[in-house]
Structure 1
Amino acid sequence: MTSLDDLPLRDDLRGLTPYGAPQAPLPVALNVNENTHPVPDDVAAQILDDVAAALREVNRYPDREFTRLREGFAAYLGHGLRPEQIWAGNGSNEVLQHVLQAFAGPGRTAFGFAPTYSMYPLLSQGTGARWIAGTRDDDFRITAEDAAAQVAVADPDVVFLCAPNNPTGTPLGLDVIEAVYEVARGVVIVDEAYQEFAPKAAPSALTLLEGRPRLAVSRTMSKAFAFAGARVGYLAADPVFIDALRLVRLPYHLSALTQAAATAALRNSATMLRMVDEIVVQRDRITAGLAELGYLPHESWSNFVLFGGVDDPRATWQALYDRGVLIRDVGIPGHLRVSAGTEAETTAFLDAMASVGSAA
């Protein structure tokens, strides 16, 4: 039987494994930070109408510059952003891949503070760049001084700053971003995939874009907008930064149907974002419930909770799995991660954790 070893695969891809979050048909799936709330019916109806209209012209190529969608993102983000400062792709992973294709690649390096989003090294390696992992404090935080010192030593072509961080939920201060940008030679990407779940008064890195042409802030519709299956991500940056991404994107990379669906969802952002408040309530409920059971939940500004104090993460994961609850072992010793779901899903998770037993 043919194996990868029998194919002329790139040498730097040999031995790697693809991204593989477990997928299982369990009643309660809280392992990949999805928004488990469905799109509201009235918004879904509008999306269907817009997609149906786009379908009538699907024999033609879509707007290559996704003009209406960029206008929608600029209006949603605010901060005086203009459409020419917006880029989008099929999920934020494609957007980040565009960044790496433009600014990293063979002979160049990408850097992030581990533990962080597991796709950063995979995307880097996939584009031929070498991944460099920095370090965090024991509580997964980073100070501006330490961050700047690590970046100065690594001297990477691309720096990833996940704010709040995945898989830990840890917030990141604007002072860290400013310090890293000042010492970085390459581009700095602030990944705000979970920004909508942060405290409402928490400032966004979007406030730092002015006068920083090597800075970009990426977002996604997968989380707050319950659009994981639609695959829509985007970023904001200087218009010249956006021009660089045009050099590497595939022609007509955003389908007309994707553009129509995302534009309709953005038009209803106020309705869509009402889900965020409910998810935050469930996240905080999970934090309190885990603490009562003797576990050590970390502060989270996201839609998930990382918790420590787990003697045997694999055994606990399996015990929950056997009870119909799927969460995530992210490979951090003594820790597991759970997404905040609906009220019923949160109850099911906490009940299952209680049945497994309190932390030692």
Structure 2
Amino acid sequence: MELIQKKFKSLNLSDPFFASLIEDYKEFSQWFTKKAEDNAYVFEDELGNVNGFLYLKPESGPIEDVVPVLPNKNRLKVGTMKINAHGTKLGERFIKKIFDHALHNKASEIYVTVFPTHEALVSLFAKYGFSKAAEKHTQNGTEHVLVKDLSKLQDSLVKSYPLADLANKNFYLLSINPQWHTRLLPDSILKNEDADIIEDISHTNSIHKVYLAAMNGMEVLRPGDIILIYRTTDGAGPAHYRSVATSIGVVEEYRSIHSFVSRDDFMRYCKPYSVFSDAELDQFWARKRYPHVFRFTYNAALKRRVTRGEMIEKFGLDPGAYWGFMRLTRDQFNSIAQAGQLNESIIIN
């Protein structure tokens, strides 16, 4: 299923998907009709039935209809979010889309109101650093106001997402071949123009990634290490100009393929966040040619691609070094991120 934007007026409010929202919110039908010309993100199945719905609204000023009142800030409001999970990663895709929009709109906070009875939804938001800041009392009952501060690190890498903490961290350039890069990092596809982080290019647009590689030295990766993804040349021109830095990630975990006790153990770990097919994973397990297995968060695409030539000539990277997996200095990383017009708000020095 693809995540697409649709106007409210093009959606069928009598779709069974909306029944629980109509039941929870007495004013929902009227509100939905008023939003006719507004856009929402929608997941639809093959038959056109809605399986996910997300409405986002930038706001500024205090939030006065909650207790306690929340102070004046630029915020992104998660107006409505509902998912029919069915064992998929729809919730995570919505969370990534929420963060993408918040950064795009330079919001300092994100907030959402949720009935505490929706435990799975509350848990999903909590996983990514949302916490209760207030309550909202209406004719529908009492909702919790969950807030995510986009300027503060929290007590875990995932709760801090999309922020990247650079203090006392190691920095590495990690090369990925074009065929895997397009699958793994869909909004970092090489384009002639700047990447639009708001566009949902592929169903693989998720926060967490699992990747396998065979490059020397990768066993040094540790949680919190910062990786600069480097897309190798597509053959359409010299690597000096066509190999480019595209995006930033943070390592969650490194494992050797030999640490898995069985194929099933390996598949359970890789499958939820891997872009590889079952057949490819089976082959990787059988041959053990890619011994390095690591999970990372995909924090941001560079708006401008930085070429190999620029990294050598301007930022001092060694042209004779092994560019498959290469240590960077903090200054080199910062210079490349700045040249790539990385959203500076995600970087905590």
Greater percentage in strand: 2
Q: TM-score, normalised by structure 1?
A: 0.24
More relative contact order, 1 or 2 (CA 8 Å, 6+ apart): 1
Q: TM-score, normalised by structure 2?
A: 0.25
